[in-house]
Amino acid sequence: MKRTRHKLALMSALAGMLLTASPGYAETPEDNSNQFDLDTIVVTATKTEKSIKEVPASVSVITAEDLAKANIKTLDQALQYVPGMYVKESQGMMGTKISLRGMTQSQVLVLMDGIPLNNGYSGGANWSNIPLAMIERIEVIKGSFSSLYGTNAMGGVINIITKTDAKPQTIVTGGFGENGTTTSSFFTSGQSDNKKFQYVISYDKRDVDGYVNQPEQLPGGNRYGKFATKNENTGIKLMYDFSEGERLSILRTESDYTYGYYNGGKDKGQRKLELTGINYEKKLDDTKELKLHLGEQNYKKYWQIAGGNGPSPNPVKTQEADISLNWAVDKKNLLTFGVATREDEGSQYNKAGKLTATATAKTNAVYLQDEITMNPKSTLYLGARYDEWKTSDTVKNGKTLADRSISNVSPKASFHYKADDKVTLYASAGKAFNSPKIMNVVFDYNNLQANADLEPEEMTSYEIGAYLSASPKTTTKLALFKNDVNLIYQGANRWQQGDAEICGFEAEINHKFTPELTGFINYTYNDAKFTNNPNGYTGNRIPTVPKDTVTFGCTYAKDKWTTNLLGRYIGTAYEDEENTYGFMSHFVADVKLNYAMSKNTSLALSVDNIFDREYTQRVDTFDIYAPGRVAYLELTQKF
């Protein structure tokens, strides 16, 4: 497939606009001693506040500043630079798929302010519909965390934390680019005079006319033509501090994602999601802290039209609650215990609009963790969670299916050792589980049949790692991991279950070269293969898991200019258990150039795939192509 060369002309024009902009104001970069601070506080790994170097796990943090520096338009684009993470962009209702250390999107728990975003239908999250302007930071915790979070957390946790300090400001952004891309966003936040009440309001819209990603129309093909998308997101967060250490926050977001092919394509669909979350935190005394959150996500519209037939909607609603207590019993023991519940309700309609199936799945759980300080250098974490998963009210094609009930215990032990100020070591071992999703056991999807006999996925995991500070300006993260897992995966025409082994390691280096120039590079090796495949493919690689990934980036900031360069190499990943078709290995680099026209006004030029690499992203049994070089211009005004 040949790339059109008019892109070069547009890029030159955009660059000229930047270079001829009026001189303005920009702050001089601060000469911090360490740009990559291991003292950054995270809360997801232990459900208590810890610095990164105190956590017995591999942790990556993406800040709002990181999102602004890079050419990030959707959350999944930010995740692709996290060590161990593979982000595969798909088309249509399948959306973006992620893989974290060989674990798929239904095996990685996604939270927003503690509220699960994994839908009850497939277990995946809707990456395109999360308002970026509301994000304060993203914590990515890799490894088994079912002992604290239960199902979906078998491979890790991605916690999206929205703004917690609503300083008075308003930001308006607009942009345009190739492939018919137009964007606009509005963000405002503020607080009352006594600062007890705070609010955050966000709106963004993104329209893309797309490009022809399948250059030749195949017989019966539904995806020929330009792939057009439209995203519209709104969000509001209200916070009230009753007293020091006591806060109530309410989060509400509404998002609408639609897509469709034109010039011959027949595939189109929509996901419309409403999310509500209530969080309450209270410090009871110097030793106890109570946390409560309630959440609901409602896919009011979740439908697809394929091949010119009528819509096949799959509405699903999830309600959940979690209450926990952190209790410092004495100087050596910090207990975290809680109870949680979740209920998923889903329905499926055929292409004629007739209701064909309904199902309800409910999970109740209790968990406990003890953080034991053995001495000033050593800390032991012991924890376990009990989950009970039940299905009810399951009807398929007019036939009532028997209720199911499955219980599971997920234990975990972790050890953390601080050798000195430069070296921190950790090790962990545990068991995890992931319950089947409604789509796996009840709902049929096109030619993929449900399997009512599926058991929960179970995994035994081991990990050792280190955080190293060779100098005040250099940090290194290392991790070795091994997972033995009973895996639910997509077979040729039915959901299947088989055993697999995932072994690998991660290495990441961050360095501050000068006060103006910082950089990082990371490498992940992931050997994920079947050890017992029911269809005879033992030894084959697990679908959607590349063996090698390398990502790097650097940021240069001086005077009015900030330049950010990011690159990634993705090895070959297969899409089927036979390892016959998949996604070709490729290298892609992106760049963003920002110019501060004044203290509150900035202009940015972004270019994705700057070397115009051509590579395919294969879906089902035909090839589709990834975008070529794409330029984008954006203006930001702060008030």
SS3 assignment for 228-264 = EEEEEEEEEEEEEEEECCEEEEEEEEEEEEEEEEECC
The total number of structural domains in the chain stands at: 1
One-letter amino acid of 67: L
One-letter amino acid of 489: Y
Predicted pLDDT at 235: 94
Predicted pLDDT at 321: 96
Q: 35-44, 60-69, 214-223, 474-483 — which is least confidently predicted?
A: 214-223
Phi-psi region of 128 (alpha: psi -120 to 50; beta: other; left: phi over 0): alpha
Q: Which residues contact 260 (CB under 8 A, 6 or more apart)?
A: 227, 228, 267, 268, 269
Report if residue 93 sits inside a domain: yes
CA angle 98, 103, 104 (to 5 degrees): 40
**How many whole angstroms separate alpha carbon 473 and alpha carbon 181?**
39
Q: What residues make up the domain containing 238?
A: 6-638
**How many whole angstroms separate alpha carbon 535 and alpha carbon 556?**
52
pLDDT at 410 over 60: yes
Predicted pLDDT at 295: 94
**How many whole angstroms separate alpha carbon 320 and alpha carbon 120?**
11
pLDDT at 23 over 90: no
CA angle 236, 242, 247 (to 5 degrees): 50
pLDDT at 306 over 80: no
* Exposure letters 203-230 (e unless 16+ CB within 10 A, then b): bbebbbebbbbbeeeeeebbbbbbbbbb
CA angle 65, 508, 582 (to 5 degrees): 95
CA angle 408, 410, 416 (to 5 degrees): 175
Q: Are 182 and 207 within 8 A, CB to CB?
A: yes
Strand, helix or coil for residue 66: helix
Predicted pLDDT at 4: 41
Mean pLDDT for the chain overall: 86
The stretch 536-549 carries a mean pLDDT of 91
Please report where in the chains the tokens 């070397």 appear, as a residue: 611
Q: 107-121, 213-227, 417-431 — which is least confidently predicted?
A: 213-227
**How many whole angstroms separate alpha carbon 390 and alpha carbon 399?**
19
Query: With bands split at pLDDT 50, 70 and 90, how would you rate the model's confidence at 25?
Result: very low
Instruction: Write the DSSP symbol of residue 199.
Output: E
pLDDT digits (tens, 9 = 90+) for 68-104: 888 787 788 888 888 888 887 666 555 577 889 988 8
* C-beta neighbour count of 243 within 10 angstroms: 9
pLDDT digits (tens, 9 = 90+) for 48-59: 989 888 999 999
pLDDT digits (tens, 9 = 90+) for 169-180: 999 999 999 999
pLDDT digits (tens, 9 = 90+) for 180-228: 999 999 999 999 999 899 999 999 999 998 888 776 665 555 666 788 8
Q: Are 471 and 38 within 8 A, CB to CB?
A: no
Strand, helix or coil for residue 575: coil
More confident site: 541 or 104? 541
**How many whole angstroms separate alpha carbon 102 and alpha carbon 489?**
12
Rg (CA), the chain: 24
Predicted pLDDT at 91: 61
Query: With bands split at pLDDT 50, 70 and 90, how would you rate the model's confidence at 122?
Result: confident
* Exposure letters 544-569 (e unless 16+ CB within 10 A, then b): bbbbebebbbbbbbeebebbbbbbbb
Tokens describing residue 536: 């005879």
Structure-derived torsion over alpha carbons of residues 597, 599, 601, 606, reported in degrees to the nearest 10: 70
**How many whole angstroms separate alpha carbon 344 and alpha carbon 337?**
24
Q: Are 633 and 176 within 8 A, CB to CB?
A: yes
**How many whole angstroms separate alpha carbon 639 and alpha carbon 634?**
17
Tokens describing residue 555: 């940021």
For β-strands 85-88 and 97-100, DSSP reports them as antiparallel
Predicted pLDDT at 30: 42
> What CATH number did the domain enclosing 442 receive?
2.40.170.20
Q: Model-level pTM?
A: 0.90
Query: With bands split at pLDDT 50, 70 and 90, how would you rate the model's confidence at 36?
Result: low
Predicted pLDDT at 265: 66
Report if residue 1 sits inside a domain: no
DSSP string, 410-467: EEEEEEEEE-SSSEEEEEEEEEEEEPPPHHHHT--BTTBB--TTPPPEEEEEEEEEEE
